[in-house]
Structure 1
Amino acid sequence: MSARRLYVISGCSGGGKSTLIDALAETGHNVVREPGRRIIAQGGPLPWDDMAGFAQAAIAMAEADYDAARALEGPVFFDRGLVDAVLALAHATGQQRDLTRIAQRPYAKPVFFAPPWQDLFANDEDRRHGFAEALAEHDRLARAYRSLGHTLTPLPKSSVAQRVALVVAKAL
């Protein structure tokens, strides 16, 4: 499968990405759920105890997800992807991004990007950071995706159905 059919939904933590992925799955689209939530559900490493270890686990999972998704027919929508995980490791360790890893697994150039949406943002057992940290992450991700040649397609602050319609229309 061509990278042109592999779409990332990224952006602000708590911006409705996972809800959008769930809705896309319900309408029959291929989706890949967020590595971070799956790592936490499996027992770690946990971001609040070992951010570098968590990011390394997210990189490994994102690479495996990408490789598996290439065999699927039609578009595939990722709730975060390899770029997000590589950027998390760079942020946690202060090291450079591993652009080689990213180049080996390219995604479609338009990235669907969740804007900061404070009314939607909520902490839960898996999201323990605050809105200010989510904003900083959003800005880092936007810069990183743009620097890699991606265009950001902002998700509207609207209903899930409207977001699904936008994503499907742009991807098909």
Structure 2
Amino acid sequence: MNNPRFYVITGASGAGKSTLLKALGNLGYSVVPEVALTLVQEQEQCGGDLFPWTNLQAFMDEVVARNVQAYDAAQALPPPVFFDRAIPECLGHMRLLGLELKAAHEAASGQRRYANTVFVAEPWPEIYVCDRWRRAPFDRAARSFEPTVAAYAEAGYDTCVVPRLPVEERVAFVLRQLEAGA
């Protein structure tokens, strides 16, 4: 059964997801940051070696585990809760990359459902910026968009494209969708 309290915002890298989530958080909504980026930043700070470029399987296993922890911890947050990416796309990317998917990964995804509607940010070249953590050129980053969205469709979710508008208007769009029963 889907959890009508938990909403995923996903899509292309550099398409404004984190900006949208930050704006929702600034309005007082509960927000869960992107797990993979948080993990990379933690590893850099502590001198760790759990990165996608050093051991992709171990990194993705940890990303799934942390997404599960984030989901469970979010039960205590006031709804609605907005997630920057979520478990289904982790599994979709693991399949795409030919990584081992453990039965526990599949079980975790099935037991931890989000709202039926997943909000999707399409590739947006006008706002895409390379930085310390986003190193890929736009076309490479955009290639991950289709597999990301497909992972949610395969898991039984509906998708709703967030229009390319200023952040305040994207926030209003998402909130209107929630009011309409998304």
- Deviations along 1:70-92, one digit per CA (max 9) or x if unpaired, are 12222000001111222232233
User: How far apart, in 1, do the equivalents of 2:141 and 2:165 lie?
Assistant: 19
Unaligned runs of 5+ in 2: 44-48
Q: Which amino acid aligns with 2:22?
A: D
What is aligned with 1:87?
A: 92
What is aligned with 1:151?
A: 158
Distance 1:83 1:17, change over 3 A: same
User: How far apart, in 2, do the equivalents of 1:128 and 1:47 lie?
Assistant: 13
8 Å contact 1:12–1:138 — kept in the other structure?
Answer: yes
So what's the TM-score if we normalise by structure 1?
Answer: 0.91
What is aligned with 1:41?
A: 41
Rg larger in structure:
2
Distance 1:134 1:160, change over 3 A: same
What is aligned with 1:108?
A: 115
Q: Which amino acid aligns with 2:8?
A: V
* Aligned partner (choices 125, 128, 137) of residue 121 of structure 1: 128
Aligned-partner SS, 1:113? strand
RMSD: 1.8
Q: Which amino acid aligns with 1:64?
A: Q
What is aligned with 1:58?
A: 63
Q: Which amino acid aligns with 1:151?
A: D
User: How far apart, in 2, do the equivalents of 1:127 and 1:149 lie?
Assistant: 29
User: How far apart, in 2, do the equivalents of 1:124 and 1:49 lie?
Assistant: 20
What percentage of aligned pairs have identical amino acids? 33
8 Å contact 1:56–1:85 — kept in the other structure?
Answer: no
Cα drift, residue 94 of structure 1: 4.4
User: How far apart, in 2, do the equivalents of 1:132 and 1:88 lie?
Assistant: 17
- Deviations along 1:74-128, one digit per CA (max 9) or x if unpaired, are 2000001111222232233345685322111000010000001111111111112
What is aligned with 2:31?
A: 31
Cα drift, residue 58 of structure 1: 1.0
Query: Which has the larger displacement, 36-45 or 89-98?
Result: 89-98
Distance 1:50 1:119, change over 3 A: farther
Q: Which amino acid aligns with 2:19?
A: T
User: How far apart, in 1, do the equivalents of 2:76 and 2:101 lie?
Assistant: 31
Q: How many residues align?
A: 171
So what's the TM-score if we normalise by structure 2?
Answer: 0.86
Aligned-partner SS, 1:93? coil
8 Å contact 2:93–2:148 — kept in the other structure?
Answer: no
8 Å contact 2:29–2:80 — kept in the other structure?
Answer: yes
